[in-house]
A and B are shown apart, each in its own frame.
Chain A
Amino acid sequence: MAVNDILDVGQRGLQAQRQALTTTSSNIANANTPGYSRQKTQLVNQPPHLVHGLPIGSGVEVKKVVRVHDEFVQKQLIDEKQSLGSLQVKAEMLSRFEALTTQEGSNLGDSINRFFNDFRDLATNVENPSLKNVVRGSAESLARSFHKMNQSLEMGRRELDLRVEDVVKHINTEGREIADLNNTIVQAESRGEVPNELMDRRDLLIRDLAEKIDLQVTEDQRGQKTLVAGNAVIVQGGDHFEMSVRRSAAEGEKAAGSMSVFIHSSGTPREITRSVKDGELAGLMQARDRVINPAMKHLDQIAFQVTQKVNELHAEGIGLDGIDNRKFFKDLGDDVEHASFHFDLDPDIKENHEKIATGFSSSTGDNRLAQAIADIQNEKMLPAGQLGGEVNLTVNESLNNLVSQVGINTQQETQMFDHQKAIVDQLENYRQSYAGVNLEEEAVDMIKYQTVFNASAKAMKVGEDLLDTILSLKD
């Protein structure tokens, strides 16, 4: 064995330990990087060579740097994060929506009570001219409360649509990046590189994307990921297919003018709204279509029924001017939709409160109509369910039902979110426990590699000394 071999073995030792130290440093640096999987340097001994028939060790080499990864947990996380994304966004949006509905519902409830109580006061004291003015005032306030609640629901719907648009933009950005990574990873592997960081980045993006839309992930033989979302391929190899949103007509639970989702995989955009079943995108659309839309329909139903009932009675009454068949509220025809938006006083009444009729005759003391209108508040005139059912609720009960239904939805979604979050946290915890960086471990590794690095340097020094000794023999 030549003395040079000692130097070669020492040098390989130095290189291998340095590389291992670099990996350790990289692990330490990425201890807080989301999605980072710790890496391990795999050292193997060099095959020995025979010297005089004896196997002499050739030192060490770095076989590869592997990332600690479990594809099964990654798949579980993708599955569970889809539900988490949907539940999280629903719980968050409904919680905000609930606060708003409770406040506006309470205001509307107060206005309804005031309106009917003022009619009661008028019925008790029809001769008092100022009470008609009071009734007009409370009717105007009732109209404002309906508009305000309608506006709140409409704003909620718009905000959800904006978020839908935003989430689709994110899906496109991440999908594009995943497609690019698919290409880059294949190219790096074909060059013999081990693109651990790129794979980590792609896994992280896929997990992130899974929170936004229900995702099915498959891997081809070259290691490229194909992503199917909402029944449509969004990434295949290096190709990415854009998604877009567009307002469209009413369909099923979806109201007219709400956003629908389209995929551009072939020439004509194909609608995939119905196929999006999970993730933030589905959660946003479900909150919009299954909570806000029914609440809006419910509110419209209340506004419509109040208008119809009061108008029917008021038209039977006779004003002090002897005129009958006068509406109290603006006529809505048969159009229940948007009734809470259009709810308003009849222009005649708005202009002159004296046109409010209080009796079925033009006698000044006839209070029967005013009392009958006040009685509407006790009438069971609205269905128990948001979308129909037996008519057994008063106007106040129906409004409380609307608010409480939002509360029920919020409660359900929040509970399901908490449960799902616990599952995802557990999985994340598990992933972290094997793939996360432990600084103590890395510190020990550093000491371990540093010690061997120093020892290898020492071995080289010995080799150098040996060479010096040999060379000094010449002298």
Chain B
Amino acid sequence: MTTRVSTAQIFTNAQNHISKAREKESISAAKAATQKEITRPSQNPAEWTVAANLKDDLNIREGIAKNAKFATSFLTATENTLAQLQELVGRTHELAVEASGSGTVSPEQFYHILPEVEGLFQNVIQAVNTEFAHRPVFGGYQSHQKPFDTEGSFSGDNGKIEVEIDRNLKIPVNLSASQIIFGEGLQRGVNVIDTYRGLLTGLKEGNIQGVRDSLEGLLGAIDQFSLGRTQVAGSMTEIQRALDSYEVNQEQSQKVISELEEADPVKVFSDLVRDQTVLRAAIETNRKVINESPIDTLLK
């Protein structure tokens, strides 16, 4: 049975063929121009959602990583302070040993040592008041003022400043003054300020026993600062691990996003060439079909 074809059908079919070929060519051209496989969710809702969630995750992690780096800087400042404190207390210990070691030392000689120890104490006070980005490293939540006055009286608190270093992972970035400076909660903890006060009193009063009593405290203070430095190093290691994990994660996520969203350039361009050829063929074929109607011949 032969199929009857109406004239309007010939034109409609020609139009449909060209229009379909044009549509495909246009999609391939858009992919080639943007190098994107998915430009709207309906092209692949599941993959689009995965890519969108990954992009959000990357964005959030980027913010967290920035803050983790800030926390690292804060911890570095704390570490420098502790190192400085160790040096100051170490020098103080040397002077105290010198003073306590000479049984015949005169009060005048104590007075010779005293100004340097007083100066070191003020340096210690200055060090424990160290600030990073307007935040004292030992002030806890009390960041509006210096936590120690010149006498060494403490007005800060033990507030733990926690910073998010990875999604759902927070660590405290400040050290507690009550632990590191006052030795609270530690076995054989030392109150550094009181130790200095005792030493200064001993030196002022020419009390050699008083000076000797401070020696153990000073050594304990050095240990306490070491403990603080260990804690800081631990936190920094943890941050570094989080940052490393962020970098790996970022790389992997970007790879997945790229696989989901980006088009394969070779495939895209070969598709484009193919679709352009199909379009040209559709136009050419339909031009022939339309033009080669025998109507003119018949009605001549």
A interface with B by C-beta (< 8 Å): 31-32, 38, 95, 98-99, 102, 109-110, 113, 116-117, 120-121, 123-128, 359, 361, 363-368, 371, 374-375, 377-378, 396-397, 400-401, 403-408, 410-411, 414, 425, 429, 432-440, 443-444, 446-447
Where chain A touches its partner, the secondary structure class is helix
Stretch at the interface among B1-9, B114-122, B230-238: B1-9
What is the CB-to-nearest-CB distance from B87 to chain A, in angstroms, rounded to a whole number?
27
Query: Of A364, A429, A446, which contacts B144 at CB under 8 A?
Result: A364
Number of B residues, CB within 8 Å of A: 54
- Find out whether the CB atom of A109 lies under 8 angstroms from the CB atom of B56: yes
- Find out whether the CB atom of A440 lies under 8 angstroms from the CB atom of B141: no
- Find out whether the CB atom of A407 lies under 8 angstroms from the CB atom of B133: no
Q: Say yes or no for B168: interface residue by CB 8 A criterion.
A: yes
Q: A124-B163, A366-B159 are in contact. Are A113 and B59 (CB under 8 A)?
A: yes
Chain B residues, Cβ within 8 Å of A365 = 135, 139-144, 159, 161
| With A116-B63, A433-B5 already in contact, 17 other A-B pairs whose C-beta atoms are closer than 8 Å | A32-B8, A38-B6, A102-B40, A123-B67, A128-B133, A365-B142, A371-B164, A377-B60, A404-B45, A404-B52, A407-B41, A407-B43, A414-B42, A437-B7, A438-B7, A439-B7, A440-B298
Query: Of A403, A405, A447, which contacts B52 at CB under 8 A?
Result: A403
Query: Of B16, B59, B157, which contacts A425 at CB under 8 A?
Result: B16
- Find out whether the CB atom of A126 lies under 8 angstroms from the CB atom of B143: yes
Query: Of A102, A120, A127, which contacts B64 at CB under 8 A?
Result: A120
How far apart are the CA atoms of A405 and B45 in the complex, in Å?
Answer: 8
Query: Of B46, B161, B293, which contacts A440 at CB under 8 A?
Result: B293
- Count: A-B pairs, CB below 8 Å: 169
Query: Of B62, B143, B294, which contacts A127 at CB under 8 A?
Result: B143
- Find out whether the CB atom of A396 lies under 8 angstroms from the CB atom of B53: yes
- Find out whether the CB atom of A117 lies under 8 angstroms from the CB atom of B170: no
Chain B residues, Cβ within 8 Å of A95 = 42
Find residues 136-193 in chain B having any chain A CB closer than 8 Å to their own CB.
139-144, 157, 159, 161-164, 167-168, 170
Q: Which 7 A-B pairs have the closest CB atoms?
A: A407-B41, A436-B6, A365-B143, A363-B141, A117-B63, A410-B42, A443-B298
Show 26 residue pairs from A and B whose CB-CB distance is below 8 angstroms, ordered by the A residue: A31-B7, A32-B11, A99-B40, A117-B59, A120-B164, A121-B66, A121-B67, A124-B71, A127-B143, A361-B159, A364-B142, A365-B139, A365-B141, A365-B161, A368-B162, A396-B56, A400-B49, A405-B45, A407-B41, A408-B42, A411-B43, A411-B45, A439-B293, A439-B295, A440-B293, A443-B299
Chain A residues, Cβ within 8 Å of B53 = 396-397, 400
- Find out whether the CB atom of A113 lies under 8 angstroms from the CB atom of B164: no
How far apart are the CA atoms of A117 and B61 in the complex, in Å?
Answer: 9
Chain B residues, Cβ within 8 Å of A363 = 140-144, 157, 159
What is the CB-to-nearest-CB distance from B130 to chain A, in angstroms, rounded to a whole number?
14
What is the CB-to-nearest-CB distance from B33 to chain A, in angstroms, rounded to a whole number?
17
How far apart are the CA atoms of A253 and B91 in the complex, in Å?
Answer: 80
- Find out whether the CB atom of A404 lies under 8 angstroms from the CB atom of B159: no
Q: Say yes or no for B70: interface residue by CB 8 A criterion.
A: yes
- Find out whether the CB atom of B3 lies under 8 angstroms from the CB atom of A433: yes
Chain B residues, Cβ within 8 Å of A405 = 45
How far apart are the CA atoms of A109 and B60 in the complex, in Å?
Answer: 11
Q: Say yes or no for B48: interface residue by CB 8 A criterion.
A: yes
Closest B residue to A436 using CB positions: B6
Query: Of A367, A377, A433, which contacts B162 at CB under 8 A?
Result: A367
Q: Say yes or no for B285: interface residue by CB 8 A criterion.
A: no
Q: Say yes or no for B288: interface residue by CB 8 A criterion.
A: no
How far apart are the CA atoms of A444 and B299 in the complex, in Å?
Answer: 8
How far apart are the CA atoms of A121 and B67 in the complex, in Å?
Answer: 6
Closest B residue to A36 using CB positions: B8
What is the CB-to-nearest-CB distance from B192 to chain A, in angstroms, rounded to a whole number?
22
Q: Say yes or no for B109: interface residue by CB 8 A criterion.
A: no
Closest A residue to B160 using CB positions: A368
How far apart are the CA atoms of A245 and B162 in the complex, in Å?
Answer: 60
Chain A residues, Cβ within 8 Å of B80 = none
Chain A residues, Cβ within 8 Å of B59 = 110, 113, 117
- Find out whether the CB atom of A364 lies under 8 angstroms from the CB atom of B143: yes
Query: Of A31, A102, A110, which contacts B8 at CB under 8 A?
Result: A31
Chain A residues, Cβ within 8 Å of B140 = 363, 365
Q: A31-B7, A116-B60 are in contact. Are A440 and B295 (CB under 8 A)?
A: yes
Closest B residue to A377 using CB positions: B60
How far apart are the CA atoms of A401 and B49 in the complex, in Å?
Answer: 7
Closest B residue to A117 using CB positions: B63
The residue in A121, A366, A447 that gathers the most chain B C-beta atoms within 10 A of its C-beta is A366
Chain A residues, Cβ within 8 Å of B66 = 121
Find residues 36-79 in chain B having any chain A CB closer than 8 Å to their own CB.
40-43, 45-46, 48-49, 52-53, 56, 59-60, 62-64, 66-67, 70-71
Q: A123-B163, A432-B9, A437-B6 are in contact. Are A102 and B41 (CB under 8 A)?
A: yes
Q: Say yes or no for B249: interface residue by CB 8 A criterion.
A: no
How far apart are the CA atoms of A359 and B16 in the complex, in Å?
Answer: 66
- Find out whether the CB atom of A410 lies under 8 angstroms from the CB atom of B298: no
Chain B residues, Cβ within 8 Å of A425 = 16
- Find out whether the CB atom of B167 lies under 8 angstroms from the CB atom of A378: yes
How far apart are the CA atoms of A447 and B170 in the complex, in Å?
Answer: 93
How far apart are the CA atoms of A109 and B130 in the complex, in Å?
Answer: 40
What is the CB-to-nearest-CB distance from A52 to chain B, in angstroms, rounded to a whole number?
44
Chain B residues, Cβ within 8 Å of A434 = 4
- Find out whether the CB atom of A98 lies under 8 angstroms from the CB atom of B42: yes
Closest A residue to B139 using CB positions: A365
Q: Say yes or no for B12: interface residue by CB 8 A criterion.
A: yes
How far apart are the CA atoms of A213 and B71 in the complex, in Å?
Answer: 65
How far apart are the CA atoms of A366 and B8 in the complex, in Å?
Answer: 79
Chain A residues, Cβ within 8 Å of B134 = 127-128
Chain A residues, Cβ within 8 Å of B4 = 433-434, 438
Q: 1/0 per position for B260-300, CB-CB distance to A under 8 A?
A: 00000000000000000000000000000000011100110
Chain A residues, Cβ within 8 Å of B6 = 31, 38, 432-433, 435-438
The residue in A110, A377, A440 that gathers the most chain B C-beta atoms within 10 A of its C-beta is A440
Q: A120-B63, A396-B56, A433-B6 are in contact. Are A125 and B70 (CB under 8 A)?
A: yes
What is the CB-to-nearest-CB distance from A131 to chain B, in angstroms, rounded to a whole number?
11
- Find out whether the CB atom of A440 lies under 8 angstroms from the CB atom of B8: no
What is the CB-to-nearest-CB distance from B295 to chain A, in angstroms, rounded to a whole number?
5
Chain A residues, Cβ within 8 Å of B298 = 440, 443-444, 447
- Find out whether the CB atom of A367 lies under 8 angstroms from the CB atom of B161: yes
Query: Of A113, A361, A435, which contacts B60 at CB under 8 A?
Result: A113
Chain B residues, Cβ within 8 Å of A447 = 298
Closest B residue to A401 using CB positions: B49
How far apart are the CA atoms of A110 and B163 in the complex, in Å?
Answer: 22
Query: Of B45, B49, B141, which contacts A364 at CB under 8 A?
Result: B141
Chain A residues, Cβ within 8 Å of B299 = 443, 446
What is the CB-to-nearest-CB distance from A407 to chain B, in angstroms, rounded to a whole number?
3
What is the CB-to-nearest-CB distance from B152 to chain A, in angstroms, rounded to a whole number?
20
How far apart are the CA atoms of A364 and B294 in the complex, in Å?
Answer: 92
